Amino acid sequence: MEKVSEYIQEHKDRFIHELIELLKIPSISADSKYKGDVLAAAEAVRKTLESAGADNTELCETEGFPVVYGEKIIDASKPTILVYGHYDVQPADPLELWDSPPFEPIIKDDKIYARGACDDKGQMYMHVKAFELMMNTKQLPCNVKFIIEGEEEVGSENLEAFIQSNKEKLKADIILISDTSMLSMEHPSITTGLKGLSYLEVEVTGPNRDLHSGVYGGAVANPINILCEMIASLKDENNRITIPGFYDNILEASTEERALMSKTPFNLEDYKGKLGIEEVHGKKGYTTIERKGIRPTLDVNGIWGGYIGEGAKTVLPSKASAKISMRLVPNQSDEEITQKFKNHFESIAPKSVKVEVKPHHGGEPYVMPIDIPEYKAASEAIVKAFGKEPVPVRAGGSIPIVALFEQVLGLKSILLGFGLDSDAIHSPNEHYGIENFLKGIETISYFYESYSNSYD
């Protein structure tokens, strides 16, 4: 594997140049105006896979934008890595907050600035280039398949149908994804968990019309007061969620993982300072990192009711509503928790009001155990590229496709991200460090080897 860093040194300018060309295509999947550009990006990705040495490259039709496919099967008895990424990007507005046009990439301070630079064109392209490297240096030790979709930023709506109907084609041993971040270049990390999500909307109805709060106040239930009381009762004084059965079956993080997590570089004073808060807040008995990563949470995401204009209006409103979401950890299931919430919320409503609970959408949690060979192979690749062991990080966010892959294909995903939280993805001035890009290519190349070795 000595040729890896040499190859990268030799070809890095071309790698960057090619990525910049791809970033020039405004492949905004959310805006139908850009339909042609999204399709052009798909074709560009197909071509680049082909040039890198992939066989059977094609644009697989879906109800929406195509999934780009490519593969290299060197030996059916060898393990197969399935790489997932996406070629579509977020809208670029507000445009006026960009220092340079989002689809005219520039390099500044060793970072590439453009929409999609990190999410996910830059990270996805690392895989194409690592594959090219392995092919051109004749080191590819296993089979590879690529699926690069064009609808990740609009909810991957057609991906499930694609996977369901291509189970044979997508047969693999592990999924490799670079669409997350790592702690820092000094503290490389691997995302070992994603939370699931149960998102609901609740509506509390009191009287059948808005009333005068002087004439009816104190005698008729005020749906805002009641909603507040119901929401408050969802947590006890230790911030434990009170929904019956909420914590049933939770797969607790192992002592080893908690010990590793506790080594995550984290400065509480700095964290509080950046958020402008005096104290953190959460479930008793857990650190901030654990609260974020391994504990399920319940947050009100929106609340409204009554008069919300300027000044004062003495109304006792008919209705009050809230959007409430719960982040789930392994082995909670979206459907089960949604039902438990609904049952509980309806049961605690006083007779003086009516309550409606409407589930919005959800997703299942995901966890990658750190004691399986795939994780150890990824860890080894990081050690080789960065010179230090990665920190396993359980993320608070949700990427529903990862749970989907597990459900439909029965495969674990390795979330090997090289972005930084400061990369401004989904925001103006998105960028991606050139060092991150090149280290990513290097790490992925090493992973091919460590993974194949672990499989033997």
Catalytic residues: 88, 152
**Is 270 or 279 the residue whose CB approaches a second copy more closely?**
279
**Cα gap 288→282, rounded to integer Å:** 8
**Cα gap 257→278, rounded to integer Å:** 29
**Cα gap 438→345, rounded to integer Å:** 50
**Is 112 or 190 the residue whose CB approaches a second copy more closely?**
190
**Is 43 or 201 the residue whose CB approaches a second copy more closely?**
201
Measured from the CB of residue 411, what is the shortest distance to a second copy in angstroms?
23
Measured from the CB of residue 274, what is the shortest distance to a second copy in angstroms?
8
Question: Is 84 strand, coil or helix?
Answer: strand
Measured from the CB of residue 187, what is the shortest distance to a second copy in angstroms?
17
Pick the closest to residue 174 from 406, 407, 417 (CA basis): 406
Measured from the CB of residue 427, what is the shortest distance to a second copy in angstroms?
12
Measured from the CB of residue 260, what is the shortest distance to a second copy in angstroms?
18
**Cα gap 228→219, rounded to integer Å:** 18
Pick the closest to residue 330 from 230, 184, 447, 195 (CA basis): 195
**Is 70 or 419 the residue whose CB approaches a second copy more closely?**
419
**Cα gap 127→87, rounded to integer Å:** 13
Work out whether strand 413-415 and strand 174-177 pair parallel, antiparallel, or are unpaired.
Answer: parallel
User: Could you tell me the two tokens for 214?
Assistant: 């002087």
What is the signed CA dihedral for 14, 18, 19, 25, rounded to 10 degrees? 160
User: Could you tell me the two tokens for 313?
Assistant: 């209006």
Measured from the CB of residue 287, what is the shortest distance to a second copy in angstroms?
9
Beta-carbon contacts of 337 under 8 Å, excluding residues fewer than 6 positions away, are: 196, 198, 243, 246, 326, 328
Would you put residue 424 in left (φ > 0), alpha (ψ -120 to 50) or beta?
Answer: left
Measured from the CB of residue 96, what is the shortest distance to a second copy in angstroms?
19
**Is 110 or 229 the residue whose CB approaches a second copy more closely?**
229
Beta-carbon contacts of 315 under 8 Å, excluding residues fewer than 6 positions away, are: 210, 211, 212, 213, 306, 307
**Is 218 or 387 the residue whose CB approaches a second copy more closely?**
218
Pick the closest to residue 398 from 300, 335, 291, 325 (CA basis): 325
